[in-house]
Each structure stands twice: as C-alpha cells, then as structure tokens.
Amino acid sequence: MTTNEFNPRQNKPVIVVSDVDEARLSGLAATVANRMPDLSDDLLTELERARVIPHHSMPEKVVRMGSTLEYAADDNQRRQVTLVYPGDADIAQGKISILTPIGTALIGLSEGQSIDWAARDGRRHRLTVITVSNVVEATT
C-alpha cells in the first residue's frame, strides 16, 4: 500500500486499525451513540472502512490510540498531538480525543497520508501526517 492509496468508494485514504483498537473504539462509539450521535456515526464510519489487522502486526508508523504524531494542517502550521480516549483528553497538553472530528480523522493514517475532514463548525480542512511515534502497550 502506498501512502497515496485511496479507498475509491469514499475517496479517502486507505487506513489500517488494529483489532484491539477496533473493538475498543466500536464499544466507545456504541456507548456514546445516544449523547453524541454524529461523532459516534463518524467514528463507526471510519472503523467500517478500515482494514483491521492483528494488534501485533500493526505497522509502526500508523496512527493508533496512544500515538503521538505531528501533522501539518491546511494553514501550513505543524502540530504535535497524542490521540487519546475522551477521559484522557487535555488540549493544553496536546492530548486530543478520538471523539473529536480531528481525532476520528487521524485514526489509522500512516506517515505521509492526507485526509480532508470537517470541523464542528462545518468548515472543511486537510491535514497531512508527518511523523508517528507509538509506545508499545499491553493488549489486555
């Protein structure tokens, strides 16, 4: 798979998600479906289009839960963030929740991939992942 490969059905880049993240995030989306239906639906849509692979087979440079990454936004600014679960989110520390439009857009992307996403105010943005750093964690 090249970094520019797109899912032709949805004109979005091909993404890879571990089986562990897919199970946890599907459960999270179901839990928040009544309170945040749009965010839940967006997350489920991303998970449905992802190629799910075993946790131990995840490529090192793919954004997953807990990844710290640098991305360039369409305003040409670079930002470093860590993708976290909602309870760990802290924008002042650069920890962004998976249950935000940008968090959902980032999951499964590889270094060099770009994606268009809609902010909560409806404006369209484009971001490109520059670097991904992952800490190995236990799966249980």
Residue 124: band (very low, low, confident or very high) from pLDDT cuts 50, 70, 90: confident
Query: Is 138 within the bounds of a domain?
Result: no
Averaged over 127-132, what is the pLDDT?
A: 96
At 40, which CATH number?
Answer: 3.10.50.30
Q: How far apart are CA 20 and CA 105, in angstroms?
A: 18
Q: How far apart are CA 137 and CA 140, in angstroms?
A: 9
Per-residue pLDDT tens digits for 7-40: 444 578 999 999 999 999 999 999 999 999 999 9
Let me know: does 96 contact 83? Beta carbons within 8 Å.
yes
Q: What is the pLDDT of residues 54-66, one digit of tens each?
A: 999 999 999 999 9
> Alpha carbon 116 to chain centroid distance?
12
Give the count of domains, the chain: 1
Q: What is the mean pLDDT of residues 55-82?
A: 94
Selected residue with higher pLDDT from 90 and 6: 90
Sequence-separated (6 or more) residues with CB below 8 Å from residue 5: 13, 14
- 77 or 136, which is more confident? 77
78 inside domain: yes
pLDDT over 90 percentage in the chain: 76
Which structural domain, as residue segments, surrounds residue 25? 6-133
Strands across the sheet containing 68-73: 95-97, 78-84, 68-73, 124-133, 114-118
What local confidence, expressed as pLDDT, does residue 120 receive?
78
